[in-house]
Structure 1
Amino acid sequence: MTDRADTQALLRLVTWMSPAFPVGAFSYSGGLEQAVHDGLVTDAPGLARWLQVLVEHGSSWNDAVLLAESYRACGEPLRLAEVRQLAEALAGSRERHMETMLQGEAFLTAAAHWPHPGLETLTGAVAYPVAVGAVAGSHRTGLEPALAAYLHSTVSNLVSVAIRCGVMGQTNGVGVLAELEPIIAGTAVRACASTLDDLGSAAITADISALRHETLHSRLFRS
């Protein structure tokens, strides 16, 4: 891409992954609220470790693999339909299913301001990483930047969740983002070379927290 095209792609990714983009990400914690309630995450270092596991070995890694496959499949409707079905099937709990499907649908609705013929068949409920990957692929943003932006957005949202749950203040939250920067960058590079065979999660405690959140008696977040 030319410098101008690079800048345009960057601006689109910044916009799509912005907290202001209307996907409702602020409403979801992916089980982090339960982890805070259970005393599993109590401070900034603990949050950094939790997020690192998610990005390298947990649900965020799976999202990165699905995004990469969707990016590559954006011009192949049948291939994209297959990854779309797989992504929905991989949701590990009722709330995680709600989280990824509603955010994906909302993302596609908002991204319609950047129309592309290849996205006409991608309507309705679509898992969030599939929606982002397909849109980014259609607009040729570059796969690695799209992955980095998606993972950074996910981590940033969870840092915000932790702040609202009283785990730490904003200054320490920014510190967590700085600490995780090389983790996000490295995972984006690794996901670029991934295939669907690389799907898999070893973040068992996080998965259990997402399940247990469904019965949390008083909560701020929908997942």
Structure 2
Amino acid sequence: MAEAPRTQALLRLMAWMSPAFPIGGFAWSGGLERAVHDRLVQDAGELQSWLEALLRHGSFWNDAVLFAVAWRRHQDPEGLAELSELGLALAGSAERNFETLSLGKAFATAAAAWPTPVLERLPADVPFPVSVGAVAAAHGVPLEDALAAYLHGALSQAVSAGIRLGACGQMHGVAILAALEAEIGDVARSACGATLDDLGTAGIQADIASLRHETQHSRLFRS
């Protein structure tokens, strides 16, 4: 598999991870809305700690592992199908399942603007990290770069949700992203060599928040 020219790869990553990319990422909070509602996340410091825990020990880590394995399996339809089933099964709640499935399908549809046979190898029901990982590999985008962009995009979306929920302001949100740069790099490098044996989380509070969000009466987000 030949790598895409560096500028081309960068432009594609910027497009795929852009808030303007039509996947509807703005509609989801991954349970953060409930965490704010339950006063588990009340300010910028708590939001940063929450996101760092997800990155190191929660759903973002599992997503990074699934992404890396999908990147390596992008030429294997059966392997991608099995990985997709596992990724959907790992979702900790019905809302999280619907979130990753909706984003994954929307990404594959939008990524058809860059035609590649991998889109035919992806199953109809594909979680978000599997979809992005496989497409990135098919276009020759280096794994570590793709992972770092994916994780930064996920954290940026979470920070945006935190701002809209009143947990912090825009300046604090930018500071959170700056503070997590090293963490993103470390996790991306670790996930590059990860296998399915490295899957696993300890984000119990986040999973509970996601479950409780399903019965929340007034809400801004779908998860």
TM over 0.5: yes
1:150-185 per-position Cα deviation (integer Å, ceiling 9, x unaligned): 100000001000100111110010000000110011
* 1:56 and 1:187 in contact (8 A); partners too: yes
- When normalised by structure 1's length, the TM-score is 0.97
Aligned equivalents of 2:209 and 2:95: distance in 1?
11
- How many residues of Structure 1 are paired with residues of Structure 2 in the alignment? 223
Q: Which moves more between the two structures, 84-93 or 194-203?
A: 84-93
Q: Where in structure 1 are there 5+ consecutive unaligned residues?
A: none
* 1:29 and 1:158 in contact (8 A); partners too: yes
Aligned equivalents of 2:29 and 2:79: distance in 1?
30
Counterparts in 2 of 1:76 and 1:155: CA distance versus 1, 3 Å: same
Letter in structure 1 aligned against 2:29: S
Match of 1:125 in 2: 125
Match of 1:184 in 2: 184
* 1:105 and 1:123 in contact (8 A); partners too: no
Counterparts in 2 of 1:202 and 1:151: CA distance versus 1, 3 Å: same
4+ runs of 1 displaced by more than 4 Å?
1-4
Residue pairs, 1:97-176, within 5 angstroms: 97-176=97-176
**SS at 1:120 equivalent:** helix
**SS at 1:124 equivalent:** coil
1:17-59 per-position Cα deviation (integer Å, ceiling 9, x unaligned): 1100011110000000000000010111111100000011100
Match of 1:31 in 2: 31
1:78-137 per-position Cα deviation (integer Å, ceiling 9, x unaligned): 211211111111111110011000000000000000111232132522100000011001
Letter in structure 1 aligned against 2:185: A
Aligned equivalents of 2:134 and 2:2: distance in 1?
22
Aligned equivalents of 1:196 and 1:190: distance in 2?
13
Match of 2:203 in 1: 203
Same amino acid, percent of matched pairs:
59
CA-based RMSD of the aligned residues comes to 1.5
Residue 145 of structure 1 and its aligned partner are, at CA, apart by 0.6
Counterparts in 2 of 1:199 and 1:45: CA distance versus 1, 3 Å: same
Match of 2:79 in 1: 79
* 1:54 and 1:203 in contact (8 A); partners too: yes
- When normalised by structure 2's length, the TM-score is 0.97
Match of 1:14 in 2: 14
* 1:108 and 1:123 in contact (8 A); partners too: no
Q: Where in structure 2 are there 5+ consecutive unaligned residues?
A: none
* 2:4 and 2:140 in contact (8 A); partners too: no
